[in-house]
């Protein structure tokens, strides 16, 4: 089975408070985009599990990859056959795009379908939460208001298919733990009802990502990317998650000079 786990962007991200378990309660809008990895799995003909990863290099040992951990869970819990898994990484890591969580969630959905496990959406979300706070989002993979650690999801009626989105990923790695340590939580959740009534062009003055203050001071090039996206016509631009990817939403395809983001990975044309 071949799957295409896609990325997501955060539209606004507020850090509300620190939980007793050490995590933080957040408020955000999760929106799926078409930037995707390629994930394939099939029963092993040799009876030996293999995991092969190509494309963007993922830091750490492959045994810690979320796809491997998902497989081990299903092998132990549901006695599925031994698999061969191949993952080609296209979604940048340490970018705030949820690529690893998406890989895990899509593998959960794929295994459920391939082996006719008949797991409900709720059960798959429950399983997904073991592998990441934003992992449950990718089970339904629809725009949602996210709260709690990111696992409490409510549908959000948003369609950006008429827009053009550009995602810029510089060669900067941001530690999520370090980013959270820099935040002073504030009980100020996103007003999703108000946001839903506003046009994308009004978001810039009312939608905030709490991580930007810290990351922009530490990495001024991120602020420059955002300013350049706005300068070239973005209706709304923001860093996604804890970074380091920054995106811009445009009404039409922008004419951006090639040299502007020469040292970055640039992904575009996801919507029109």
List 103, 134, 210, 226, catalytic entry? 134
List 8, 89, 109, 226, catalytic entry? 8
Q: Do the beta carbons of residue 33 and residue 95 sit within 8 Å?
A: no
Q: Catalytic: 109? A: no
Fold of 2-155: Ribosomal Protein S5; domain 2 (3.30.230)
The one-character DSSP state at 59 is S
Domain spans in the chain, listed from the N-terminal domain onward: 2-155, 164-267
Strand order in the sheet with 38-43: 2-3, 38-43, 83-89, 50-55
CATH number listed for the domain at residues 164-267: 3.30.70.890
pLDDT, tens only, 74-131? 999 999 999 999 999 999 999 999 999 999 999 999 999 999 999 999 999 999 999 9
pLDDT, tens only, 203-262? 999 999 999 999 999 999 999 999 999 999 999 999 999 999 999 999 999 999 989 999
State how far the Cα of 95 lies from the Cα of 168, in Å rounded to an integer. Answer: 10
Predicted structure pTM score:
0.96
Show the beta-strand stretches assigned E in 173-242.
Answer: 236-239
Q: Catalytic: 134? A: yes
């Amino acid at each position: 089975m071949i799957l295409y786990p896609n990325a997501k962007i955060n539209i606004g991200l507020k850090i509300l408070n620190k939980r007793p378990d050490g995590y933080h309660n957040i408020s955000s809008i999760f929106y799926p985009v078409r930037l995707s990895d390629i994930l394939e799995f099939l029963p092993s003909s040799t009876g030996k599990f293999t995991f092969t990863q190509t494309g963007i290099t993922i830091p750490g040992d492959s045994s810690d990859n979320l796809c491997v951990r998902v497989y081990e869970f299903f092998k132990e819990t549901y006695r599925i056959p031994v698999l061969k898994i191949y993952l080609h990484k296209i979604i940048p890591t340490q970018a705030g795009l949820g690529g690893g969580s998406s890989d895990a969630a899509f593998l959960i959905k794929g295994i459920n379908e391939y082996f006719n496990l008949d797991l409900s959406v709720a059960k798959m979300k429950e399983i997904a939460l073991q592998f990441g706070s934003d992992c449950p989002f990718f089970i339904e993979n629809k725009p949602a208001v996210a709260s709690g650690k990111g696992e409490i999801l409510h549908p959000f009626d948003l369609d950006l298919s008429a827009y053009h989105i550009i995602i810029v990923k510089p060669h900067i790695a941001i530690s999520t733990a370090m980013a959270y340590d820099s935040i002073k939580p504030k009980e100020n959740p996103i007003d999703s009802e108000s946001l839903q009534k506003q046009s994308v062009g009004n978001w810039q003055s009312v939608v905030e990502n709490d991580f930007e203050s810290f990351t922009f001071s530490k990495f001024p090039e991120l602020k420059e990317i955002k300013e350049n996206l706005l300068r070239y016509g973005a209706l709304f631009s923001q860093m996604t998650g804890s970074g380091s990817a920054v995106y811009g939403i445009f009404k039409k395809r922008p004419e951006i000079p090639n040299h502007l983001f020469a040292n970055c990975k640039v992904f575009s044309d996801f919507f029109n």
